[in-house]
Amino acid sequence: MTDDANAPWLIVGLGNPGPEYAANRHNVGFMVVDLLAERIGGKFKRAQKAQAQVVEGRMGPPGPENRRVILAKPMSYMNLSGGPVTALRDFYKVDTAHVVAIHDELDIDYGVLRLKIGGGDNGHNGLKSMTKAMGAEYHRVRCGIGRPPGRMQVADFVLKDFSSTERKDLDWFVDRAADSVESLVAEGLERAQSVYNS
């Protein structure tokens, strides 16, 4: 991994395109990159070389911790995320270790964040597709959504909107996830983990 402060970061929110999916649990990654785009004052536009929407800008305080970032939302469906992400990584010449995937995580309680680099996909189709396309050594911001209640199927659970109870804390959760991404990019994984991993 390069230590070059000018090396760009590719920050990918995982989700499914289309208004019918917008408020689903599976789309929390899109929600986080939408907020990050708002924070850097950018608007998503269609990428030239990939099936994705992107915003280019800078993140972090002025000075040595300020970083060039590309925020991205793959416009393929979740299980095909690897193609657009790899195309963007290659087009913008981003080191795989500077790729960040923001995604929903079933095995973590709702509202809990965990940051890490590398590892398995834990049955998450977006991660599975990314890992198959470019290897596993990218960062993950894992946004806990908890397990489905009762006998509800996982696929049904992740493609449902957040419950009314969950929605009360959703803005706070998305805001904290966005903060964790900014910390990761500016200060590194260990520092971000020490503050945001719970």
Residues with active-site annotation? 26
DSSP label at residue 151: T
Cα(172)–Cα(58) distance, rounded to whole angstroms? 23
Cβ atoms of residues 198 and 112 within 8 Å: yes
**Residues in a beta bridge with 142:** 103, 114
Kindly list the distances between the CA atom of residue 17 and the CA atoms of 42, 60, 103, in Å, as whole numbers in the listed order: 19, 28, 14
Render 107-120 in DSSP notation, one character per residue: TS-TT-EEEEES--
User: What phi and psi, each to the nearest 5 degrees, are found at residue 28?
Assistant: -60, -30
Cα(157)–Cα(58) distance, rounded to whole angstroms? 35
Dihedral angle, C-alpha 3, 95, 59, 103, nearest 10 ° = -130
Who contacts 156 (Cβ-Cβ below 8 Å, separation ≥6)?
148
